[in-house]
Amino acid sequence: MRRAEISPKPEEPPVMITFRIIRLQYETRVSILWLYIRTVTITRQGPGRPRDREIDDAVLRAARELLAETGYDGVTMDETAVRAGTSKAAIYRRYRSKAELLFAAAVHPPGPSAPADTGTLHGDLLALAGRIRDDLASPGAREVAAHLIAEIGRAPDVADRLRERFVAFEREQIRDVLARAASRGELEPELDPDADRIAAHALLGGALFFTTMVIGDDLDDGVLAGVVAVLIRGLAAPTTPPG
């Protein structure tokens, strides 16, 4: 059988070869330029997520301003987003409701990551109590707390988010204070750290919250000192019942 003859490919004209070379050079330069821009952007942005942090701060600042200007009922997620320079969707990714947002902004603003180390258990607890008092005394805090408590009654999952976002942080702070006291010999080292931090948080934070948010009394230095003294006596008491 006679094989079919294969015709050789026609040679490309020089102008097409030149065009292909120019196109390849252009695409290579564009790729290099894109890689450079991307590298510079990442370098300037730095580690972590600074843009997200900026949004967090802007949202809380806008919420505090609107709360002071209009009161709880006048605050809207739309207006908060406009003032913060972000979208309403970005706010809802952080807070599921207005009550949760305003609680974070007015009652529980971001604080130092570590509790003050004064050198004594009494001093540490007094400093922590003072910080809680300052948070609870912020403008609109009592109104916001009332709305959040009402929301917890309607939606139990709000309590879970409250525990995750705010209560867990406070309990960790108290745990650090108690651990330092045990290392200084002010408390027995065999104390149950989990049970103690929960009880101490309930006695300290619960007493201050109830006094100012429910009863409406002022938390002066004498009240703080009394609450701290009762808490220390409870922590230092024997852990086993007599007899």
Count CB atoms within 10 A of the CB of residue 45.
Answer: 11
Mean pLDDT over the full length of the chain: 78
Average pLDDT in the 219-238 region? Answer: 88
Burial tier of 149 (Cβ tally within 10 Å: 0-12, 13-18, 19+):
middle
pLDDT tens digits along 190-215: 667 778 888 888 889 889 888 888 88
Instruction: Provide the pLDDT for residue 152.
Output: 83
Tell me which DSSP letter residue 85 carries.
Answer: T
Instruction: Provide the pLDDT for residue 80.
Output: 96
More confident residue, 187 or 40: 187
Instruction: Provide the pLDDT for residue 138.
Output: 80
Q: What residue has token string 């809680």?
A: 132
State how far the Cα of 109 lies from the Cα of 131, in Å rounded to an integer.
Answer: 11
Distance of CA 105 to the CA centre of its chain: 11
Q: Which domains does the chain have, with CATH numbers?
A: 50-94 (1.10.10.60), 121-236 (1.10.357.10)
| pLDDT exceeds 70 at position 1 | no
State how far the Cα of 154 lies from the Cα of 239, in Å rounded to an integer.
Answer: 38
Instruction: Provide the pLDDT for residue 60.
Output: 92
State how far the Cα of 105 lies from the Cα of 242, in Å rounded to an integer.
Answer: 46
Euclidean distance between the first and the last CA atom of the chain, given in angstroms as a whole number: 113
Query: With b meaning 16 or more CB within 10 Å and e meaning fewer, what string describes 150-159?
Result: ebbeeeeebe
State how far the Cα of 233 lies from the Cα of 238, in Å rounded to an integer.
Answer: 10
Place 41 in a pLDDT band, splitting at 50, 70 and 90: very low
| pLDDT exceeds 50 at position 53 | yes
Instruction: Provide the pLDDT for residue 62.
Output: 95
Instruction: Provide the pLDDT for residue 30.
Output: 44
Give the global pTM.
0.68
Q: What is the largest CA-CA distance in the chain?
A: 114
Average pLDDT in the 14-30 region? Answer: 53
Residue 2 carries which side chain, given as an amino acid letter?
Answer: R
pLDDT tens digits along 58-94: 999 999 999 999 989 999 999 999 999 999 999 999 9
Nearest Cα to 204, choosing from 164, 180, 239, 175? 175
State how far the Cα of 98 lies from the Cα of 137, in Å rounded to an integer.
Answer: 20
